Amino acid sequence: MQDTDLTDRRGVTLTTDRVLEAGHIFREQHESDQGIDAQIEIKEGLSATGRLIAVQIKSGASYFSREIETGFWHPVTNKHRELWINHSLPVIVILCNLDTRDCFYEIVTDETCIRAGKNWKILIPKNKTLASDSAPDLVSLASPVVAASDYSIHSEQDQSHGNARRISMDIVVHPGSRAVNRPLLGAITRAALARGQSSKYHRDEISERVLGGRPVDVVWGFIYLRDIDRQSASWVCKFQWVSPSLDSRFSPLPFEGEKDGSGLVISWNNSTELPRFLDDRRATKADYLKRVDQLLALLPPVREKLALVLDAGDQTGVSESFPSLTSDFEDMWDGTSAAPHECQRLNQAIQELLATVGNAGLIWSQRHSRNQRATFSLMTGYHDQLGRLAGEIAFLRRDVG
């Protein structure tokens, strides 16, 4: 083993120790991603949260040669800056001093990257070290928490082939007041992937008989910023996950893109300019509240039909018309304009309402291929949630109006 390789391994080992000391999980990324060495996963108590930080580790005396009073300047190439800033996870650079066993770190952002000639540099502060007291700071840097209202599944398809169980999905984002950036979209992608990996949906009885009970082998999907973008296939990113245990003979052609070592690949559509997306399409308060009132006028029939579905079960007429009603309800909402800043709490509740109605229609349309008891349990939950949301939205609507 070369000296540089040995130094790198010592740096990884030291970083592992320091992350564990901080109470979180360190996971080395053996699959190359051009500048990402590992991931830190945040823990709450004894439980992993799924909130992640991507890590680049540098070890050895040469990385401490550009020292100033407050920290250490670390050079960054254009290639690495683009990779790190546009990554689906927040990225930190860690400098390991193997003599003192200190690990200094800093997050990579537009603000921390400073132009240095044709390339860039980042100051790794001396007062930011991985240790037990750095645990809260790592929590604040990690990928965002994703709520059920942050996205909705507009299509879930069983596309199993041969001996591989395959699920495809179309996901629409409902960001509310939060900035639309790649870490948020990456977190939504991972949350949607978890739903796909646990899917019990089968397209027909034959598929269920052949592959029923088998874990999902492949999940792929597209993330859209608006429902209207699905019509023109204007996705912001697409993703593919292939189980490491799947026989390579049944694996689909791999995506090119950002790899995280778990089998997930995210490919970004670079034609979408995220930072200005919300502000460029923000509605006036009057226009937004008018749309809210129109939507709320259509909610009572949806709730009434859902109650009938729960009472009547699979009776013809009642059951067949419910998915169409939920689809009309979602289509009524014009998603081309964002909510004004003072209506963000109301908008978050509206997005949760749309996701709940849409998911209720999707689950009911798939009822013949799902477990009956589980389906009615979900539908009952949706009914109760709509009642809660109706009251919450009415209160928020009065508050801003």
Ramachandran angles phi, psi of 289, nearest 5°:
-65, -30
pLDDT at 13 over 60: yes
> Residues 387, 307: contact at Cβ < 8 Å?
no
Tokens of 381: 């939950």
Place of tokens 């604040």: 140
What is d(CA 137, CA 126) in angstroms, rounded to the nearest whole number? 15
27 pairs with which residues across the strands? 39
What pLDDT shows up at residue 336? 55
The predicted-structure confidence for 242-253, as pLDDT tens digits, reads as follows 998 898 888 888
120 pairs with which residues across the strands? 76, 115
pLDDT at 300 over 50: yes
The predicted-structure confidence for 186-229, as pLDDT tens digits, reads as follows 999 999 999 999 998 888 888 888 888 889 999 999 999 888 78
What pLDDT shows up at residue 2? 46
Q: Which of 225, 229, 352 is nearest to 276 (CA)?
A: 225
pLDDT at 67 over 80: yes
Mean pLDDT (the chain, rounded): 86
Residue 267 CA from chain centroid, whole number: 13
> What is the arithmetic mean of pLDDT over 309-317?
75
Tokens of 264: 């997930």
> Residues 281, 336: contact at Cβ < 8 Å?
yes
User: What is the band of 1 on the pLDDT scale with cuts at 50, 70, 90?
Assistant: very low
Find the range with the poorest average confidence among 38-42, 216-220, 308-312: 308-312
pLDDT at 169 over 90: yes
What pLDDT shows up at residue 188? 94
pLDDT at 181 over 90: no
User: What is the band of 41 on the pLDDT scale with cuts at 50, 70, 90?
Assistant: very high
What pLDDT shows up at residue 366? 85
What pLDDT shows up at residue 250? 82
pLDDT at 46 over 50: yes
pLDDT at 50 over 60: yes
DSSP one-letter string for 301-334: HHHHHHHHHHHHTT-TTHHHHHHHHHHHHHHHS-
Q: 204: Cβ–Cβ under 8 A, 6 or more apart, which residues? A: 369
Residue 281 CA from chain centroid, whole number: 23
Q: Which of 88, 57, 62, 84 is nearest to 73 (CA)?
A: 62
User: What is the band of 5 on the pLDDT scale with cuts at 50, 70, 90?
Assistant: low
Q: Which CATH number fits domain 3-141: 3.20.20.150, 3.90.550.10, 2.40.430.10, 3.40.1350.10?
A: 3.40.1350.10
Global pTM exceeds 0.75: no
pLDDT at 99 over 50: yes
Instruction: Choose the most confident range, by mean pLDDT, from 30-39, 191-200, 252-261, 369-378.
Output: 191-200
pLDDT at 319 over 90: no
What pLDDT shows up at residue 269? 86
Buried b / exposed e over 157-186, threshold 16 CB at 10 Å, is: ebebeeebbbbbbbbbbbbbeeebbbbbbb
User: What is the band of 271 on the pLDDT scale with cuts at 50, 70, 90?
Assistant: low
